[in-house]
Amino acid sequence: MRQNHYCAPEVLDVCRAEGLDFMLGVAPTTTLRRHVAALELSTAAQRSGTGKLRRYKEFLDGAGSWSRVERIIARVEAGPDGTDTRFVVTNLSNGAARRLYERTYCQRGRQKIISRPGSGTSPPTAPRARVPPPRAMAELG
């Protein structure tokens, strides 16, 4: 199941105003893609066999509609079907890009899917993922 949690400028502004930590998916743009173009090429070139290779990059940028620049984390994955790049925006300042993406962003998504009633993704007796938020992680989406 793919879920897109693209952020809107109003969401970022509310999170900042309320003092909430956030980590939200961002739709890819030409500007964001420019930041990772070389990484996409090198990741695809370094991948071997039938497996996948993931690499991460972080940078500061912001959409023209945002009130300020933010920390962007890019996850680049090269596999047999080509390259797939995802972007998230966050105000979390501590933690490496890879760790934040895998342990915070992805775990939050897994937790949401597993705990959804009737999702069919796990039996009712399966242990539920528990991801403690760094502070009050904004659950927007």
Q: In the prediction, which pLDDT does 53 show? A: 95
- Residue ranges of alpha helices (H) inside the chain are 9-18, 30-46, 97-99, 106-115
**7 token code pair:** 């952020």
Q: In the prediction, which pLDDT does 134 show? A: 44
Cα separation values, 109 from 36, 62, 69, 98, Å: 24, 23, 25, 16
109/38: higher pLDDT: 38
Least Cα distance to 141 among 19, 3, 13, 20 occurs for 3
Q: In the prediction, which pLDDT does 2 show? A: 38
Q: In the prediction, which pLDDT does 45 show? A: 93
95-106: average pLDDT: 90
pLDDT tens-digit series, residues 41-85: 999 999 988 889 999 999 999 888 888 889 999 999 999 999 999
56 Cα distance to chain centroid: 11
Least Cα distance to 62 among 36, 85, 89, 86 occurs for 89
42/112: higher pLDDT: 42
Is the pLDDT confidence value at 118 over 80? Answer: no
**117 token code pair:** 């009633």
Phi, psi of 74 (to 5 degrees): -110, 135
Q: In the prediction, which pLDDT does 8 show? A: 84
pLDDT tens-digit series, residues 7-53: 788 888 898 899 999 898 988 889 999 999 999 999 999 998 888 99
**Cβ proximity of 138 and 16 under 8 Å:** no
- Domain ranges for the chain: 9-115
